[in-house]
Structure 1
Amino acid sequence: MDNILLKYMENRFQTKIIPPKKEIFCEGPVVTISRECGCTAINIANLMVEKLNATTGKNWSCLTKEILEQSAKELNLHPAKLEYVFNSKEKSTWDEIIAALSSKYYHSDRKIKKTIAEVVRTFACKGSCIIIGRGGVVLTHDIERSFHVKLQAPLEWRAAQLQKIYKLSMEEMIKYANEIDQKREILRNYFNRNALPNTVFDVIYNCESLTDEQIAESCVGLMEKKGVLGKHLVI
């Protein structure tokens, strides 16, 4: 018991952030999409996949829940056990101790976040993928053939989009959007150590004034011009 507690406390007070392994050369290409709550990224990502498949002759993929599932598989946990990380929650000290004593598959918050980071890097290094959220912009920004998108819109417009899904009041949806935005920022900042400036993104789109099709088409065009698609362009 004493040894377990000692090991736990030693791990607890080590540096909070464990950066993912970046020693493996990553060529890409990879796209990341960060979004404010209420800006739907999946539709844009799927449109981009269709356009990129046609443009490059490669099979592109859109990744979001796949990152959670692969991380859970590597940790031998059910994906639901990792959801709290993306909700920016952390176990209390006693929760961690109890979990460590009661499960042979116990993993600390730091271990789980490290695994998620490495899974994101693995997918990115394989290339031809679009990563939605999951701290992707931070974890892949060093990859030369990468393209980073941010989707935003006025809060009231985003709340109105959420109302169509959840059928709740405007006030409730505004509160919900603010909470989700804060949680996503906490996760990005965990991997980055500091708040992210907008300059990390290649382009920022206003979802209120542009259609999903317009954004997807613009992204692919900019990727070509930036050289992200490189030699894989279909001639």
Structure 2
Amino acid sequence: MGNILLKYMEKRFESKIIDPNKEIFCKGPVVTISRECGCSAINIANIMVEKLSEKTGTQWNCLTKEILEQSAKALNLNPSKIEYVFNSKEKSTWDEIFAALSSKYYQSDRKIKKTIADVVQSFACKGNCIIIGRGGVVLSSNIPRSFHIKLQAPIEWRAAQLQKVYKLSMDEMIKYAKDIDKKREILRNYFNKKSLANTVFDVIYNAKNLNEEQIVDSTISLMEKKGVLGKQIVIG
């Protein structure tokens, strides 16, 4: 009974997730930042926004919570109702059924993920933005003027950074970091439809050995050499 109802709801409420291998016709430029838990990306993104805005003469923006808010708006839901997707949690069959029967604002997991994918690609296509996480590396990988970076560092160093915020033991922070890393990997792999290889990134930085300014300056230099900041690419 549960499976029959769930299949009915999926057919009614869901649409196919965007295929990351499908060619995308949009201008960019866009930067995505993926990071292991404990490697902070927000300061790097904000510094990059300032420097890229000055260099290009066009205002850049950093996007993270905006993706959640825009996705929720498109679904006519409170952002808190879809935030669980970013934590790689899924509703059980009976949770789905109960939600569908009890709320006219019901949206399935796949519908939510499809909407998130649409929102991320929309921002990326418009360009002049830096997307932190949210599957951005997968969803914008076929945009010609795109650049993808990953921040990583030894687990003990990352746990020590987390301790400054959460004030918990080293063992607890290591466990927490590994759990968050796994959840982020699950979301990226969902959008990619298979395990995501590190070769999708243009560059991987060791956040332990490089400071924020060094990472930003290196990234902008590589973007220029790759042609991401050059003349707009026209496709077709």
TM-score (norm 1): 0.92
Deviation at 1:26, TM superposition (A): 1.1
Counterpart of 2:56?
56
Distance 1:98 1:110 in 2: 16
Deviation at 1:188, TM superposition (A): 0.2
Contact 1:37 1:177 in 2 (8 A): yes
- Pairs within 5 Å for 1:39-188: 39-188=39-188
Counterpart of 2:217?
217
Contact 1:17 1:193 in 2 (8 A): no
Deviation at 1:8, TM superposition (A): 3.1
Label 1:120 to 1:20 Cα distance change in 2 as closer, same or farther (>3 A): farther
Counterpart of 1:8?
6
Long gaps (5+) in structure 1: none
State the AA in 1 paired with 2:95: D
Contact 1:36 1:151 in 2 (8 A): yes
Counterpart of 1:18?
17
Label 1:201 to 1:29 Cα distance change in 2 as closer, same or farther (>3 A): same
SS state of the match for residue 228, structure 2?
coil
Deviation at 1:25, TM superposition (A): 1.7
Contact 1:59 1:128 in 2 (8 A): yes
Label 1:16 to 1:166 Cα distance change in 2 as closer, same or farther (>3 A): farther
Distance 2:3 2:143 in 1: 40
Contact 1:20 1:117 in 2 (8 A): no
Deviation at 1:19, TM superposition (A): 1.9
State the AA in 2 paired with 1:196: L
Residue 227 of structure 1 pairs with residue 227 of structure 2: yes
Deviation at 1:12, TM superposition (A): 4.6
Distance 2:176 2:16 in 1: 28
Label 1:124 to 1:53 Cα distance change in 2 as closer, same or farther (>3 A): same
Distance 1:24 1:188 in 2: 18
Distance 1:171 1:5 in 2: 41
Percent of matched pairs sharing the same residue: 73
Distance 1:161 1:171 in 2: 13
Give CA-to-partner distance per residue, 1:140-197, whole Å, 9 cap, x none.
0000000000000000000000000000000000000000000000000000011111
Contact 2:162 2:173 in 1 (8 A): yes
State the AA in 2 paired with 1:124: A
Contact 2:15 2:114 in 1 (8 A): no
Distance 1:183 1:176 in 2: 11
Distance 1:199 1:211 in 2: 23
Distance 1:67 1:20 in 2: 19
Contact 1:63 1:129 in 2 (8 A): yes
State the AA in 1 paired with 2:7: M
State the AA in 2 paired with 1:157: W
Label 1:81 to 1:44 Cα distance change in 2 as closer, same or farther (>3 A): same
Aligned residues: 230
Contact 1:17 1:191 in 2 (8 A): no
Contact 1:121 1:140 in 2 (8 A): yes
Long gaps (5+) in structure 2: none
Label 1:97 to 1:127 Cα distance change in 2 as closer, same or farther (>3 A): same
Deviation at 1:13, TM superposition (A): 8.6
SS state of the match for residue 67, structure 2?
helix
Distance 1:204 1:24 in 2: 24
